[in-house]
Structures are given as structure tokens and as C-alpha cells.
Amino acid sequence: MAEASLTKILDVSKEKLFAAITRYEDYPQFVTATKKVEVERKAPGQARVKYYTNILGKDLWYVLEHTEDFEKGIVSWKLVDSDLLKIDNGTWTLKDLGNGKTETTYALELGFKIWIPGPVLKTLTATTLPSVIAEFEGRAKKAGA
């Protein structure tokens, strides 16, 4: 299992970033590893999403239960089921700094059912954070979400 967290100040409003994060159906358009998603809205602020992706050259699927709270600026998720993942939990925490800037923290806890060397897993987790944040920032700016 590996855990990582990264905080950055982004030049995009909390509203636009929150919208980009919670439009799961759009992920295949801009999240590099995501090939397809199936979204089930259970209630306002809740979604169950099945992701089809490729990690470390391996196709896999996983189902996450998402909880969204715009006022608190938090989108969290936990793993429900997967073919290869045993842990996939995390949060986006967004703090409005005004003037179209948002302090963004992306935290991730990841573990696989198959053995992956610790250094590879830590590198995967650590290198994923900056690229994921950049993809969502780009999407929020481009989409004018």
C-alpha cells in the first residue's frame, strides 16, 4: 500500500474545479489513464462510478463510491470493488482563496491485490498526483465548468 498527498495553488475557481472533479462521465476525455466510466447518481452529493483504466500497462476496472460536499470543498471516494485494486481511497480538498485561485489538496491511498514492489508503487502514487492535478486544472480552465 502507498499513500501520498500534494497541495498546490491553482489558477482556477473552486466552482470550476469542483465541477470538473464531479463530472465523472467526462474523465475519459481528459484523464490520461481512464478509458471508460459508468456513472450511477445515487443521491445529490453521491455517485457510484465504475472506471475502466490502464495502470502500469495493465487494464483494470474498479468501482468507487464518491461523496461530494461543495460547501466544505471536499470530494472523497472509497473503493467498493475491483479486479486488481484492494485499496483506492482518497480526497480532493478545495479551499477558495479568492481572485479565481484555489488551494487544492489531492490525497490518495492505493494498494493492489497483486504484489508490486514498494518503490514502484510509491513512485506510481507520487508521480500520479502532480499529473492528475494538472489534468483537472486544465479541464476546469478549458471547459469553463
Nearest to 50 by CA among 25, 22, 23: 25
Tens digits of per-residue pLDDT, 16-35? 999 999 999 999 999 988 99
Identify the helix (H) or strand (E) that includes residue 82.
strand 74-82
Domain locations in the chain? 2-143
Tens digits of per-residue pLDDT, 33-79? 899 999 999 789 999 999 999 877 889 999 999 999 999 999 999 99
Average pLDDT over the chain, rounded to an integer: 91
3-state secondary structure of 132: helix
CA distance 127 to 62: 20
**Domain 2-143 classification at class level:** alpha beta
Backbone φ/ψ region at 144: left (φ over 0), alpha (ψ -120 to 50), beta: left
* pLDDT, position 87: 93
pLDDT > 50? residue 145: no
CA distance 16 to 35: 23
Nearest to 132 by CA among 98, 106, 96: 106
pLDDT > 50? residue 135: yes
